């Protein structure tokens, strides 16, 4: 009986710990809250018109102003250099961080990408700004998000959308070229991030 009790207790504790890790929450955004979508070409919306980029679609879905702070071709090292400037300029309540794809394509070490992203998250949190992280797949066929994205999400206790980019990358019907999405793809990306915002409590 004692053995069964300890096993049951361990399972319950493990479940609670797993739940607290996998479901980090964000306090509800204020009605006038600004969201910053920070990243590279997938944020900028390469392949479609600006009104079809995922930040523009997300703005329509949320009713919040979503500032598009995406720069095509940017690496996390370059992103880190302008990140604080963007935060100061827009004064957001929430940042959606989707970056690292160009680093992965350029074979930048995972440790470097992780450190750069971690510094950005730390900078945002120091200003009281919530962060949602979006994972980017590794450079191999049928890859899921690189492992360091979940490591960062766990360390900083922030929501992570780790499936949508990998899913869209494998569907030619969602792409305008081998790397970027078309209108349908960016719509799906915005919807996935919207659902993450809802599940986290931000909306």
- Burial of 158: CB neighbours in 10 Å, binned 0-12, 13-18, 19+: buried
Which residue has 């995972």 as its token pair?
110
Average pLDDT over residues 123-136: 98
Q: E strand or H helix at 39, and its extent? A: strand 34-39
pLDDT at 166 over 70: yes
How many angstroms separate the first and last alpha carbons of the chain? Answer: 45
Question: Looking at the predicted structure, is the pLDDT value of residue 133 above 80?
Answer: yes
Nearest 5°: phi and psi at 37?
-95, 110
Question: Which stretch of 71-85, 132-146, 173-187 has the lowest confidence by average pLDDT?
Answer: 132-146
> So what's the pLDDT on residue 127?
97
Domain extents in the chain: 2-200
**Was domain 2-200 assigned CATH 3.40.50.1110?**
yes
Confidence band, pLDDT 50/70/90 cuts, at residue 6:
very low
pTM (global) more than 0.85: yes
Structure tokens at 100: 């690292």
Report the pLDDT value the prediction gives residue 23, as an integer from 0 to 100: 62
Q: Does residue 22 or residue 141 have the better pLDDT?
A: 141
Span 85-128, pLDDT tens digits: 999 999 999 999 999 999 999 999 999 999 999 999 999 999 99
């Amino acid at each position: 009986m004692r053995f069964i009790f300890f096993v049951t207790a361990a399972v319950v504790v493990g479940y609670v710990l797993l739940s607290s890790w996998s479901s980090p929450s964000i306090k509800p955004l204020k009605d006038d809250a600004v969201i910053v979508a920070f990243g590279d070409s997938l944020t900028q919306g390469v392949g479609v018109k600006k009104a079809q980029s995922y930040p523009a679609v997300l703005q329509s879905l949320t009713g919040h102003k979503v500032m598009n702070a995406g720069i095509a071709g940017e690496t996390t090292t370059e992103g880190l250099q302008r990140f604080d400037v963007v935060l100061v300029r827009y004064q957001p309540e929430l940042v959606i961080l989707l970056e690292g794809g160009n680093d992965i394509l350029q074979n930048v070490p995972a440790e470097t990408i992780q450190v750069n992203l971690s510094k950005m998250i730390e900078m945002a949190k120091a200003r009281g700004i919530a962060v949602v992280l979006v994972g980017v797949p590794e450079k191999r066929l049928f890859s899921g998000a690189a492992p360091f994205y979940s490591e960062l999400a766990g360390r900083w206790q922030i929501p992570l959308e780790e499936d949508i980019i990998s899913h869209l990358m494998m569907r030619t019907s969602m792409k305008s070229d081998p790397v970027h999405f078309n209108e349908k793809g960016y719509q799906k990306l915005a919807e996935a991030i919207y659902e993450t915002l809802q599940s986290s409590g931000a909306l």
